[in-house]
Amino acid sequence: MKTFGKIILFLNILLLISCGGNQKEKKEQITIGKKSTSVQSESPKPKAPTKTLPSKKIDLKNKGIGPIKSVKLLAEIDQSMVSKGQDIFKKMCMACHKPTKKFIGPAPTGILKRRSPEWVMNMILNPTEMVAKDPLAKELLIEFNGSPMANQNLTEEDARAVLEYFRTL
Amino acid sequence: MKKSLNLFFYLITTTLLMTSCNNANSTSHKSGALNSSAAEKVYVAPGEHDEFYAFISGGFSGQLSVYGLPSGRLFKVIPVFSQDPEKAWGYNEETKPMLNTSHGFIPWDDAHHPDISQTAGEIDGRYVFINANNTPRIAKIDLTTFETTEIIEIPNSAGNHSSSFVTENSEYVVAGTRFSVPVPQKDMSIKEYKGNFKGALSFISIAPEDGAMDLEFQILMPGFNYDLSHPGRGKSHGWFFFTTYNTEEANTLLEVNASQNDKDFIAAVNWKKAEEYIKAGKFKTVPANYAHNVYDEHTHTATSTMKKEVKVLDPAECPGLVYLLPTPKSPHGCDVDPSGEYIVGNGKLSANLTVHSFTKMLSAIENNKIDGEAYGIPILKFEDILAGVVEQPGLGPLHTEFDGKGNAYTTFFISSEVVKWKLKTWEVIDRKPTYYSVGHIMIPGGNSAKPFGKYALAMNKITKDRYLPTGPEVTQSAQLYDITGEKMELLLDFPTIGEPHYAAGCPADLIKPRSKKIYKLEDNNHKYAAKSDADTRVVREGNEVHVYMTMIRSHFSPDNIEGIKVGDNVYFHVTNLEQDYDVPHGISMIGANTSELLIMPGQTETFVWHPKQIGVWPFYCTDFCSALHQEMQGYVRVSPKDSDIVLNWSLGED
What pLDDT was estimated at residue B109? 98
Which domains occur in chain A, in start order?
Answer: 56-169 (1.10.760.10)
Q: What pairs with residue B119 in β-bridges? A: B122
Residue B31 has pLDDT above 70, yes or no: no
Angstroms from B586 CA to nearest CA on chain A = 17
Q: Is B652 on the interface with A (CB under 8 A)?
A: yes
Average pLDDT over residues B630-650: 96
Which residue of chain A is at minimal alpha-carbon distance from B629? A147
For residue B26, being part of any structural domain is answered with: no
Asked which of A19-28, A36-45, B610-619 is least confident by mean pLDDT, the reply is A19-28
Q: Is B645 on the interface with A (CB under 8 A)?
A: no
Out of B577, B580, B654, name the one closest to residue A95 (CB). Answer: B577
Question: Residue B121: which domain range?
Answer: 77-186+197-206+283-316
Asked which of B22-36, B541-555, B611-625 is least confident by mean pLDDT, the reply is B22-36
Residues B314-356: tens digit of each pLDDT: 999 999 999 999 999 999 999 999 999 999 999 988 889 999 9
Residue A24 has pLDDT above 50, yes or no: no
Percent over 90 (pLDDT), chain B:
92
For residue B14, being part of any structural domain is answered with: no
Residue B534 has pLDDT above 70, yes or no: yes
Cα separation, B568 vs B636, in Å, equals: 12
Q: Is A142 on the interface with B (CB under 8 A)?
A: no
Residue B146 has pLDDT above 50, yes or no: yes
DSSP B369-433: -EEEEETTEEEE-HHHHEEEEE-S--SSEEEEEE-SSSEEEEEETTTTEEEEEETTT--EEEEEE
Phi then psi for residue B317, to 5 deg, are: -100, 5
Q: Is A98 on the interface with B (CB under 8 A)?
A: no
| Domain's final residue, options B273, B291, B316 | B316
Which secondary structure element, helix H or strand E, spans residue B24, and what is its range?
A: helix B2-28
Angstroms from A146 CA to nearest CA on chain B = 7
Residues B371-423: tens digit of each pLDDT: 999 999 999 999 999 999 999 999 999 999 999 999 999 999 999 999 999 99
**CATH code of the domain in which B612 resides:** 2.60.40.420
What pLDDT was estimated at residue B210? 95
Preceding omega of B554 cis (within 30 degrees of 0): yes
For residue B245, being part of any structural domain is answered with: no
Residues B504-528: tens digit of each pLDDT: 999 999 999 999 999 999 999 999 9
Residues A104, B521: C-beta atoms closer than 8 Å: no
What pLDDT was estimated at residue A43? 55
Q: How many domains does chain B fold into?
A: 2
Residues B579, A147: C-beta atoms closer than 8 Å: no
**B115-154 residues labelled b (16+ CB within 10 A) or e (exposed):** bbbbeebbbbbbbbbbbbbbbbbbbbbbbebbbbbbbbbb
For residue B584, being part of any structural domain is answered with: yes
Candidates B520, B551, B628, partner chain A, best to mutate (most A CBs within 10 A): B628
Given pLDDT bands bounded at 50, 70 and 90, which one contains residue A51?
confident
What pLDDT was estimated at residue B404? 97
Percent over 70 (pLDDT), chain B:
94
For residue B629, being part of any structural domain is answered with: yes
What pLDDT was estimated at residue A19? 45
Residues B431-470: tens digit of each pLDDT: 999 999 999 999 999 999 999 999 999 999 999 999 999 9
User: A158 to chain B: which residues are within 8 Å by CB?
Assistant: none
Cα separation, A152 vs A156, in Å, equals: 12
Which residue of chain A is at minimal alpha-carbon distance from B653? A103
Strand pairing report for B604-609 and B569-576:
antiparallel
Q: What pairs with residue B481 in β-bridges? A: B456, B490
Average pLDDT over residues B548-574: 97
Average pLDDT over residues B250-269: 94
User: B579 to chain A: which residues are within 8 Å by CB?
Assistant: 92, 150-153
For residue B17, being part of any structural domain is answered with: no
Q: With a CB-CB cutoff of 8 Å, which residues 16-75 of chain A face chain B?
A: 40, 43
User: A43 to chain B: which residues are within 8 Å by CB?
Assistant: 654
For residue B136, being part of any structural domain is answered with: yes
Residue B27 has pLDDT above 90, yes or no: no
For residue B527, being part of any structural domain is answered with: yes
Candidates B562, B579, B645, partner chain A, best to mutate (most A CBs within 10 A): B579
Cα separation, A95 vs B31, in Å, equals: 61
Residue B33 has pLDDT above 70, yes or no: no
Residue B97 has pLDDT above 80, yes or no: yes
DSSP B360-376: HHHHHHHTT-EEEEETT
Q: How many helices (H) and strands (E) does chain A have?
A: 7, 0
Average pLDDT over residues A8-23: 48
Angstroms from B646 CA to nearest CA on chain A = 16
What pLDDT was estimated at residue B368? 95
